[in-house]
Amino acid sequence: MIKITFPDASVREYEKGITGLEIAQSISRRLAQDALAVSVNGETWDLTRPIENDSEVNILTWDDAEGKHAYWHSSAHLMAEALQELYPGIKFGIGPAIENGFYYDVDPGEGVSIKEADFPIIEKKMMELIAAKEDIIRKSISKTEAVKMFSERDENYKVELINELEDGTITTYTQGSFTDLCRGPHLPNTSYIKAVKVLSAAGAYWRGDEKRPQLTRLYGITFPKKKLLDEYLVLLEEAKKRDHRKIGKELQLFTFSQTVGSGLPLWLPKGTQLRLRLEDFLKKIQRDFDYDQVITPHIGHKQLYVTSGHYAKYGQDSFKPIQTPEEGEEFLLKPMNCPHHCEIYKTFPHSYKDLPLRLAEFGTVYRYEQSGELHGLTRVRGFTQDDAHIFCTPDQVKDEFLKVVDIIFIIFNALNFKDFEAQISLRDPNNRDKYIGTDENWEKAERAIIEACEEKGLKTKIELGEAAFYGPKLDFMVKDALGRRWQLGTIQVDYNLPERFELEYTGADNQKHRPVMIHRAPFGSMERFVALLIEHTAGKFPLWLAPTQAVVLPVSEKFNDYAYKIAKDLKKLDIRAEVDDRNEKVGRKIRDNELKRIPYLLIVGEKEAENEEVSVRKQGGEVKGTVKISTFAEEVLAEVRDMMNSGRAAE
């Protein structure tokens, strides 16, 4: 017999070799129906895999991220099996589960393409395989056997992957006539999948290398109920309407130019206003928290990033070094700001009385991304981080960390981000070669984050393997209006860069000590944050952020002079106003400016001009009535103050 411990700490005894599915059946029929996978000692397993030893077990369902992962991973195999039957000779790359669904990179063969018109045929074949209720069977084989099996099938992409694995046991999964190289876990059989949709097709270079073959990446999604699929497709349509690239063009916020270069956004006047107001908002908060603003150059000597460790870890993601023509020195476009801030710290000697030192910069950095990976503002080659680095003594770490959490909460409250979760990202204990620094420093940094979160009463989840290469971090995952998760706001505790740059301060004991470095970026990057803000609000920005807060609509040309006088008076009060003096009917002007998401429409005619008033209409059609210009201005300024102070109140 073996002892099985459940999440509520209860313990039951079962015969050795029992499976997760059998355990679920022993608890309730409903749980067995809902079960998709099982967590055994923190590792996700197939429901049908025997458990041989005393273990901590959690039955995973659709409500668990790991359950969805197993479901969508199996769905990727299902789609691959359908493709194998429909396209003889097709070759397979990789097919992982992703946050919403799955994809599979495939090589359909020379002259063969998979188009949107083919999606219904693929879906029909997938449904046939679901009806067949094919068992998904896990098998362990040697590396030699795996190479032989996939070589005989002419699966050169799989063979390449296998050859890179360490010698030892390799697992495969088979359903029907389809066998894949895979670690799992998977569903027991194909009938668990109820509703399918092939979403899109795109090109993807093998292993992300532009010099390698271009494959077809097919995206799909599946659900255990058709109703869930229908709801998701509605959400998808709404997401298309909110696409930041579409709204950014409509509202004239930003653009891209192939002449300037792919992945390098150009901020238009209205977008620049929006971005600068976000920067001013954070700068004001940083002044209140005693940050010093700094500016560093857009390039740095290659040796700077060799010292920091960034070149070894991310050199392949940087642009090629720039060589000076005479001296032959090598410089890089700045891939991150932290090494520059370390050098600023080293400029003067520091005492413990000088610390903490908080250096902040809206620093633009550059990283090379494959052209196929670029996506609007969310994936670019040049972006600006709201970066800051806090240099402090070890006993100041927790307090400084909590102050950064306060800053993030102020921002989230001011922008009405109420649905978020905090993730503690630690290193992978089984892959320590990914990280720099000693075990002792890592343990201190990880303990500092965990204790700070506990003291704050912050509900968190822990993710192994998601730490930065120099230190653990706390990431904030925000849900937008459509329920999609975005990673925003990160705080990292770093004992390693101060050592690599030999940073010091003189302690109360008159001895030299190493400071601890806290990296933080509440927005993450200005580009990605604006993209999220656009999609979260559908372009209807909070009043304090809107590039144009009010537009004046004269009912005829006779009142244009009065309209421009109002706009001028409002601008003097720091209210961003424009005039729509087109020779159009006022109804048309209202409709057009509603589409521009301008918060207030001010309609003026003969009566308003005589009484120095405006007829106020709010975005969305709410008619506020006719008021004095001074009254309108006071109300707008008060509304802005309330919004700006909402974060402070929550603090």
Provide DSSP, 58-75: EEE-TTSHHHHHHHHHHH
Instruction: Looking at 99-202, list the stretches that DSSP marks H as alpha helix, in order from N- to C-terminal side.
Output: 119-131, 143-152, 156-163
Residue 618: which pLDDT band, with cuts at 50, 70 and 90? very high
How far is residue 603's CA from residue 585's CA, in Å, rounded to a whole number? Answer: 12
492 is catalytic: no
Per-residue pLDDT at 295:
97
What is the sign, positive or negative, of the torsion defined by CA atoms of 179, 184, 188, 194?
A: negative
Helices vs strands, H then E, count in the chain: 20, 35
Among residues 385, 396, 492, 549, the one annotated as catalytic is 385
Please count the CA atoms within 13 angstroms of the CA of 181 that sit on its side-chain side.
27
pLDDT score at 650:
41
Q: Which of 242, 350, 513, 519 is catalytic?
A: 519
Q: What are 478's two structure tokens?
A: 């925000």
- Topology of domain 2-61 in CATH is Ubiquitin-like (UB roll) (3.10.20)
Number of Cβ within 10 Å of residue 553's Cβ equals 26
- Mean pLDDT over each residue of the chain, to the nearest integer: 91
pLDDT on residue 462? 82
Residues 6+ apart with CB under 8 A from 314: 335, 367
* pLDDT computed for residue 649 by the predictor: 43
517-532 pLDDT, tens per residue?
999 999 989 999 999 9
Residue 310's pLDDT band (cuts 50, 70, 90): confident
Percent of the chain whose predicted confidence (pLDDT) is above 70: 99
Copy the structure tokens of residue 209.
């290398």
- Which residue of the set 46, 387, 494, 580 is catalytic? 387
Distance CA 89, CA 81 (A): 12
In this structure, the number of other CB atoms found within 10 A of the CB of residue 276 comes to 15
Q: Which of 217, 334, 338, 381 is catalytic?
A: 338
Alpha-carbon separation of residue 109 from 10, 147, 155, 218, 302 (angstroms) = 54, 21, 12, 15, 43
CATH class of domain segment(s) 80-235: alpha beta
CB of 522 within 8 A of CB of 289?
A: no
Q: Which of 141-145, 236-240, 372-376, 462-466 has the lowest mean pLDDT?
A: 462-466
Cα separation, 396 vs 381, whole angstroms: 36
pLDDT of residue 647: 52
SS3 26: helix
| Residue 473 annotated as catalytic | yes
For domain 550-650, say whether CATH 3.40.50.1860 is its number: no
Q: Which residues of 322-344 are buried (b: 16+ CB within 10 A; e: fewer)?
A: eeeeeeeeebbbbbbbbbbbbeb
pTM for the structure as a whole: 0.82
Going from N- to C-terminal start, the domains of the chain cover 2-61, 80-235, 255-294+348-359+376-537, 550-650
Annotated active-site residue in 69, 270, 358, 473: 473
Question: What is d(CA 64, CA 37) in angstroms, rounded to the nearest whole number?
Answer: 10
257: burial class by Cβ within 10 Å (0-12, 13-18, 19+)?
exposed
Average pLDDT on 445-469 reads 83
pLDDT in tens, 390-436: 999 998 988 999 999 999 999 988 888 888 888 888 888 777 777 77
Closest CA to 221 of 233, 213, 207: 233
Question: Mean pLDDT, to the nearest integer, of 162-179?
Answer: 91
Query: Which of 551, 547, 542, 503 is closest to 643 using CA atoms?
Result: 542
The single-letter DSSP state of residue 168 is: S
Q: Which of 206, 233, 209 is nearest to 222 (CA)?
A: 233
Is 70 exceeded by the pLDDT of residue 146?
A: yes
**Three-class SS of residue 102?**
strand
Per-residue pLDDT band for 446 (boundaries 50, 70, 90) equals confident
Tens-digit pLDDT profile for residues 561-610: 999 999 999 999 999 999 999 999 999 999 999 999 999 999 999 999 99
Beta-ladder partners of 5? 11, 56
Q: Which of 77, 217, 367, 576 is catalytic?
A: 367
Given a contact cutoff of 8 angstroms between Cβ atoms, the answer to whether 318 and 369 are in contact is: no
**Both structure tokens of 273:** 């206003």
Instruction: Express each pLDDT in 174-209 by its tens digit.
Output: 999 999 999 889 999 999 999 999 999 988 889 887
Catalytic residue chosen out of the listed positions 270, 302, 389, 398: 389
Q: Is 117 exposed, middle or buried (0-12, 13-18, 19+ CB in 10 A)?
A: exposed
Q: Are the CB atoms for 284 and 333 separated by under 8 Å?
A: no
DSSP structure class, residue 320: P
Least confident stretch, 20-24, 325-329, 637-641 = 325-329
Tokens of 501: 């740059």
Residue 646 has pLDDT above 70, yes or no: no
pLDDT tier at 651 (50, 70, 90 boundaries)?
Answer: very low
Q: Is the dihedral of CA 208, 211, 212, 215 positive or negative?
A: positive
pLDDT surpasses 50 at 488? yes
Mean pLDDT calculated for residue range 542-564: 94
Q: Enumerate the known binding-site residues.
A: 338, 389, 519
Backbone dihedral region for residue 622 (phi beyond 0: left; psi -120 to 50: alpha; all else: beta): beta
Q: Which phi and psi (to 5°) does residue 357 adopt? A: -105, 125
338 is annotated as an active-site residue: yes
91 in Cβ contact with 157 (< 8 Å) = yes
What type of residue sits at position 583? N
Contact (Cβ atoms closer than 8 angstroms) between residue 553 and residue 589: yes
Is-contact 360 292, C-beta < 8 A? yes
* CA–CA dist 236, 230 (Å, integer): 10
* 182 classed as catalytic: no
pLDDT in tens, 83-92: 999 999 999 9
Is it the case that residue 502 has pLDDT exceeding 70? yes
585 is an active site residue: no
Q: Annotate 467-506 with DSSP letters as a single string.
A: SBTTB-EEEEEEE-TTS-EEEEEEEEEESSHHHHTT--EE
**Location of structure tokens 């006047």:** 269
Model pLDDT, residue 623: 87
Q: Give the span between the Cα atoms of 500 and 296, in whole angstroms.
A: 20
Contact 518, 400 (CB under 8 A): yes
CB-based burial, 430-451: b 16+ in 10 Å, e otherwise: eeeeebbbeeebbeebbebbbe
CA distances from 270 to 267, 273, 548, 644 (A): 8, 5, 8, 20
Give the per-residue pLDDT at 473.
86
Does residue 154 carry a pLDDT above 70? Answer: yes
CATH superfamily of domain region 255-294+348-359+376-537: Bira Bifunctional Protein; Domain 2 (3.30.930.10)
Q: Which residues are annotated as a binding site for Zn(2+)?
A: 338, 389, 519
The answer to whether the peptide bond before residue 185 is cis (omega within 30 degrees of 0) is yes
- The CA distance from 57 to 22, in Å, is 12
518: which strand partners? 390, 493
